[in-house]
Amino acid sequence: MNVELTGVIVTFAITLLLAIPFGKYIARVFNNERTWLDFISPVERFIFRICGIDATKEMNWKQHLTALLTINMLWFVYAFIMLLTQGHLFLNPDGNPSMSPDLSFNTAISFLVNCNLQDYSGETGATYLTQLAVLMFLHFVSAATGIAALVVVFNAMREGVSNKLGNFFVIFTKTITRILLPVSIVIAVLLVFNGTPASFDGKDTITTMQGDTIQVSRGPAAGLIAIKHLGTNGGGWFGANSAHPFENPNYFTNSVEIIAQVLLPIALIFALGFYLKRKRFGYVIFAVMTIGMLTFLIPTMISEIKGNPSITRMGIDQSAGSMEGKEVRLGVPASAYWSILTTVISTGSVNSMHDSSMPVSGAMQLLGMMTNAFYGGCGVGILNYYIFIIIAVFISGLMVGRTPEFLGRKIEAREMKIATLIALLHPFIILVGTALSSWTWVNHPNADWAVKPSTWLNNPGYHGFSEMLYQYTSCAANNGSGFEGLADNNIFWNVTTGFVMILGRFLPIIGPLAIAGILAKKKYIPESAGTLRTDTGTFGIMTYAVIMIIAALAFFPALVLGPLAEYFSLGH
Amino acid sequence: MRTYLLPSLKLTIVLIIICSVLYPLLIAGIAKTSTGGGKGETIAVNGKIVGYANIGQKFTADKYFWARPSAVNYNAAGSGGSNKGPSNPDYLKDVQARVDTFLVHNPGIKKEQIPADLVTASGSGLDPDISVQAAKVQVPRVAKIRNRDEKELYELIEKVKMTPLFGFLGPEKVNVLKLNLALNQHN
């Protein structure tokens, strides 16, 4: 077991070693400095020309938002229609059917907003065409949308920028051509040489050694799996996601995939430091986020390695840890590590089934999504953290009796109202959703729907409640992982989670953009001895406390009803 | 909004071509040079394909080393875990039943010798591997039914087992399909 823990530590160390230079590279890309990928500049110029984009035209924050929302709306319509008709379109060797309207609605939103909740299974619910041209396409563009929004906020944090915050289409396109696509190619190549399928052949039928006739689903999966991690999307090719031996064939690919999914969230923190020439600020944010991540990782690691006490009581050998829902080739420590990283960042891909995790681990996975700001998703993680910084600046300002300032600009009532609303939105949509589903389950168990509420839950008692809580938390955090026992492909879940996903995506982008845009226009006050410094350890602790109090305590009653009650019922 | 609609539409079309056509074709092309050609690596015996190296198979006969329980019955048309919570009473009954079944088929084995991976379902339902302990604990049964020397089978496990990457990355494991193939060839 110690040996396997070493594997986890090595994986994290490699992530850091890659993230620092990668962060520098990202800062150079958006500063328009020279990089080794400059040879594709003519291609980018060609793209801008045929698309009618004037790359030199700067936008203010409202124009950025309009452009962002316009192109996102277009993608939604495109995705919805494609999924609704996929059964009649080409590139469908397995003859899979079209999605129902409510499932198309849910899936289109889910992939548009970088959540990638999957109420279908890839093998039977999507076609090669929609996997590539809709789902993988949205993997790329939703990640680039988040990063572009973040870069606009970076721009707004600079001194003397006012309304000149760059061009949305340029930032967005360069995110794909300079960052997402090149790195995805490298990851996909590593995957195919370790056994992940990439050809367009359909299902194979074979007779096994014992004489059973089975089918083996395949397809051009490697490319999608690469970007699903790099873009912190998480929507997999196969139903079992990265627990599937094709999607994640061995320990090496597991390390590649786990590094790929945290690479951008961490690199973007360093990029912020390099971009604003405030390296210390970047390092403090990284330290707070890492401590936050460890707060959730350590209890998970302990409870998974200890295993299920009920199984221990059966008297069998559980020295390898809790193995239900886990793969032998990956082992318990690497699975526990993955389950926390995938929930603190918003990937939501899984290499073990979270529904079968120990209660403490389930609580930690939930908290990862409830805070949603320790590393966080591509771009949006720092945007969430930005909201908490604004609140922490304000509270600190009140505590020491100074006008709250952040990077040379005063924080006033309007910005605080936006920040508070965004911070409270997250618990609000999760808890209202969970309350609604619980109420329906209790009061209308036999409602006349295709899937009756009484059959929603795969587990009785506290764990069943956790399944519903997890679903809404995952949607609001745009995470996409699930307690997959929940019967979620029906009209109630498809529609309610669809709306939760939209709110959980766009309001936390609009809020920080608005705050940053408003602040950018304010008068710049040079730092003085009286300035509250935001790049110190003290301020870091302050931010950590704000996150834990707002995000974690708001959910405490719900966590007590779910995973904590289950923990105590298991007996230790 | 209207100013951005046309550029958005054109950019969308261009990006679909780059990300969803050129990119997967490039990867599919590169994959042709890999083992299995990007179609999944198969294992053949006398020219007949008996399985995929990475996809687990159902082994329940006493003459074979058993694989782990599977929530999808090892049909790789789909995939998935049991999604049973750790406190679910029905689930715990299932695990107990698997322990009991194993003890009946493996007389002389004590329950503390049974590793948890043999009685719990994997996340994918297609786990190709079992732990080394899970293979070893089945040796007496397989040896007896096949009239083979136990020592010889332990050596076979040592030969088939995969050690961690660079000696420390990941658990030791045994691919059940490869172990059973080696077992048949050895007869």
Instruction: Give the DSSP letter string of A58-117.
Output: ---HHHHHHHHHHHHHHHHHHHHHHHHHGGGSSS-TT-PPPPPHHHHHHHHHHHHTT---
**What would the pLDDT profile of A447-456 be if each residue is shown by its tens digit?**
988 899 999 9
The pLDDT value given to residue A322: 97
Structure-token match 């990782």, residue found: A297
A218 neighbors B39 (Cβ within 8 angstroms) = yes
Q: Do A51 and B89 touch (CB under 8 A)?
A: no
The pLDDT value given to residue B164: 86
List the one residue out of A58, A153, A128, A3 whose CA is nearest residue A511.
A153
Q: Are residues B89 and B128 in the same domain?
A: yes
For residue B117, the distance in angstroms to the closest alpha carbon of chain A comes to 6
Instruction: Look at residue A461 and tell me whether its pLDDT is greater than 80.
Output: yes
The pLDDT value given to residue A161: 72
Percent of chain A with pLDDT over 90: 90
* B30 and chain A in contact, CB less than 8 A: yes
Q: Are residues B20 and B101 in the same domain?
A: no
DSSP tag of A120: S
Q: What's the domain range around B106?
A: 43-186
The band of A524, judged by pLDDT with boundaries at 50, 70 and 90, is confident
Q: Do A326 and B122 touch (CB under 8 A)?
A: yes
Instruction: Look at residue B168 and tell me whether its pLDDT is greater than 80.
Output: no
The pLDDT value given to residue A490: 93
B42: Cβ–Cβ under 8 A, 6 or more apart, which residues?
Answer: B36, B49, B51, B52, B53
Q: Do B16 and A569 touch (CB under 8 A)?
A: no
Helix (H/G/I), strand (E/B), else coil: B2 = helix
Percent of chain A with pLDDT over 70: 100
The mean pLDDT value of chain A amounts to 95
What integer is the mean pLDDT of A17-29? 97
H or E element that contains B154: helix B150-160
For residue A194 the two structure tokens come to 């370790």
Number of domains in chain B: 2
**What would the pLDDT profile of B21-50 be if each residue is shown by its tens digit?**
999 999 999 999 998 899 999 999 989 999
Instruction: Look at residue A232 and tell me whether its pLDDT is greater than 90.
Output: yes
The pLDDT value given to residue A422: 96
List the one residue out of A83, A71, A161, A157 whose CA is nearest residue A127.
A83
Residues in A closer than 8 angstroms to B67, CB to CB, are: none
Q: Do A246 and B40 touch (CB under 8 A)?
A: yes
- Read out DSSP for A265-317? HHHHHHHHHHHTT-HHHHHHHHHHHHHHHHHHHHHHHHHHHH--HHHHTTT-B
What integer is the mean pLDDT of B146-162? 95
Backbone angles phi, psi at A205, to 5 degrees: -115, 125
83-122 in B: which are within 8 Å (CB) of A? 83-89, 91-92, 95-96, 99, 111-117, 119-122
A345 neighbors A266 (Cβ within 8 angstroms) = no
Q: Are residues B74 and B51 in the same domain?
A: yes
Query: Can you say whether the dihedral through the CA atoms of A21, A24, A28, A34 is positive or negative?
Result: negative
* B166 and chain A in contact, CB less than 8 A: no
Q: Are residues B30 and B96 in the same domain?
A: no
Q: Are residues B76 and B117 in the same domain?
A: yes
Q: Are residues B2 and B65 in the same domain?
A: no
The pLDDT value given to residue A164: 86
The pLDDT value given to residue A403: 82
Question: Between A and B, how many CB-CB pairs are < 8 A?
Answer: 363
Backbone angles phi, psi at A317, to 5 degrees: -85, 105
What integer is the mean pLDDT of A263-291? 96
∠ CA(B99), CA(B105), CA(B110), 5° rounding? 55
Q: Are residues B179 and B142 in the same domain?
A: yes
The pLDDT value given to residue A208: 95
Instruction: Look at residue A445 and tell me whether its pLDDT is greater than 90.
Output: yes
Q: Are residues B98 and B182 in the same domain?
A: yes
CA A442 to the chain's CA centroid: 31
List the one residue out of A113, A231, A351 whose CA is nearest residue B23.
A231
Q: Are residues B67 and B137 in the same domain?
A: yes
**What would the pLDDT profile of A464-511 be if each residue is shown by its tens digit?**
999 999 999 999 999 999 999 999 999 999 999 999 999 999 999 999
CA separation for the pair A535, A280 (Å, rounded): 6
Cα distances from A218 to residues A131, A205, A215, A351, B2, in angstroms, run 12, 11, 10, 18, 42
A122 neighbors A116 (Cβ within 8 angstroms) = no
The mean pLDDT value of chain B amounts to 95
Q: What's the domain range around A405?
A: 2-570
CA separation for the pair A512, A518 (Å, rounded): 10
The pLDDT value given to residue A380: 92
B31: Cβ–Cβ under 8 A, 6 or more apart, which residues?
Answer: A192, A197, A198, A199, A222, B37, B38
The count of other CB atoms within 10 Å of the CB of residue A89 is 14
The band of B187, judged by pLDDT with boundaries at 50, 70 and 90, is low
Structure-token match 């318990």, residue found: A332
Instruction: Look at residue A393 and tell me whether its pLDDT is greater than 90.
Output: yes
The pLDDT value given to residue A327: 97
Residues in B closer than 8 angstroms to A359, CB to CB, are: 86-87
What integer is the mean pLDDT of A102-121? 96
B79 burial level (CB within 10 Å; 0-12, 13-18, 19+): buried
∠ CA(B123), CA(B128), CA(B131), 5° rounding? 85
Helix (H/G/I), strand (E/B), else coil: B162 = strand
Q: Which chain A residue has the Cα nearest residue B52?
A: A216
What integer is the mean pLDDT of A89-110? 96
List the one residue out of A368, A236, A123, A486 whose CA is nearest residue B84.
A486
Q: Are residues B125 and B176 in the same domain?
A: yes
Structure-token match 């990077």, residue found: A407
CA separation for the pair A43, A56 (Å, rounded): 16
**What would the pLDDT profile of B134-153 be if each residue is shown by its tens digit?**
999 999 999 999 999 999 99
List the one residue out of A188, A118, A507 whose CA is nearest residue A347.
A118
Q: Do B19 and A207 touch (CB under 8 A)?
A: no
Residues in B closer than 8 angstroms to A308, CB to CB, are: 86
Number of domains in chain A: 1
Partners of B42 in the beta sheet?
A: B52
What integer is the mean pLDDT of A561-571? 94
Partners of A326 in the beta sheet?
A: none
The band of A572, judged by pLDDT with boundaries at 50, 70 and 90, is low
* B127 and chain A in contact, CB less than 8 A: yes
A202 burial level (CB within 10 Å; 0-12, 13-18, 19+): middle
B105 neighbors B62 (Cβ within 8 angstroms) = yes
For residue A60 the two structure tokens come to 């203010």
Residues in A closer than 8 angstroms to B28, CB to CB, are: 198-200, 220
List the one residue out of A147, A168, A161 whose CA is nearest residue A53.
A168
CA separation for the pair A437, A433 (Å, rounded): 6
The pLDDT value given to residue A58: 93
B3 neighbors A70 (Cβ within 8 angstroms) = no
For residue A509 the two structure tokens come to 């982008």
Q: Are residues B55 and B100 in the same domain?
A: yes
For residue A32 the two structure tokens come to 């328009």
Q: Are residues B20 and B89 in the same domain?
A: no
Could you list the beta-strand ranges (E) of chain B. 42-45, 48-52, 129-130, 174-175
Q: Do A325 and B121 touch (CB under 8 A)?
A: yes
The pLDDT value given to residue A1: 64
